[in-house]
Amino acid sequence: MSNPEAILERIENERIKIVDLRFTDLAGRFRHTAIDAGSVDTTVLEHGLFIDGSAVPGWRDVSESDLLLKPDLASAFVDPFTAQPTLVLLCDGSDPATGIGYERDPRSVAGRALRHLADLGVADEALLAAELDFFLFDDVRLEIGSMAGGYRLQASESGRAASQSYADGNPGHRPAPGDAYLAMPPTDHLAEIRAEIATILTSLGL
């Protein structure tokens, strides 16, 4: 789906209320601006939307803050977690004066690098991926101040939790230190959560 008419038809057919324009900042974090789906037209989809680039750390100076978010229409997907039906479009940051991809937008830089690779005849394709690691905690406490600093973590999966009391009971199964890799349930308490995450990611085309 890479044309504005198809996107507008999808917005209508799936009763989309919000269109979420997402982009990547200099540190690689997602940022976004959300607009009412009723205000989205072919002009927005083809030419993009202006944002204040000076509000993004490391991007534009306040004296020339305008930046253009140009949607990649092929990236469209419906966010499975929002209360209001939301269509997400990944965007490239562009200089509004030239239309050229912004040099501090990682997604824009990657796109230009791929095109340069093809222009040089080195290769016609490059595969880029990130290895994503994450942790699931039940509780995280942080203290950062002039007189103290520290953190406290709680996780029902940790070995320390084997002796704790829980409202719905404690099965007592915990992996020994260094023994959690490829563990089976019930020792692995989070197998169902990972399966659900994988299913949702697959539904989004990842």
Structure tokens at 69: 């978010």
124 Cβ neighbours under 8 A, 6+ residues apart:
118
Note the pLDDT of residue 183.
85
| Residue 192 pLDDT | 93
H-only helix segments in 94-185: 106-119
Cβ pair 65, 53 in contact under 8 A? yes
Residue 98: per-residue pLDDT: 83
Q: CATH for 4-119, among 3.40.1080.10, 3.10.20.70, 3.40.50.300, 3.30.160.110?
A: 3.10.20.70
pLDDT score recorded for residue 63: 66
Return d(Cα 70, Cα 99) in angstroms, integer.
Answer: 9
Instruction: For the chain, give every domain's residue range.
Output: 4-119, 139-203
Per the listing, tokens 């040089």 go with 120
Smallest Cα–Cα separation from 96: which of 56, 65, 59? 65
Give, for all 206 residues of the chain, the pLDDT tens digit. 579 999 999 999 999 999 999 999 888 889 999 999 999 999 999 999 988 888 887 777 666 778 889 999 999 999 999 999 999 999 999 888 888 888 888 888 888 888 899 999 988 888 887 787 888 998 999 999 999 999 999 888 887 787 788 888 777 778 777 888 888 888 888 889 999 999 999 998 88
pTM of structure = 0.80
Alpha-carbon span 154 to 82, nearest angstrom: 27
C-alpha distance from residue 107 to each of 27, 42, 143, 147 (Å)? 11, 23, 34, 40
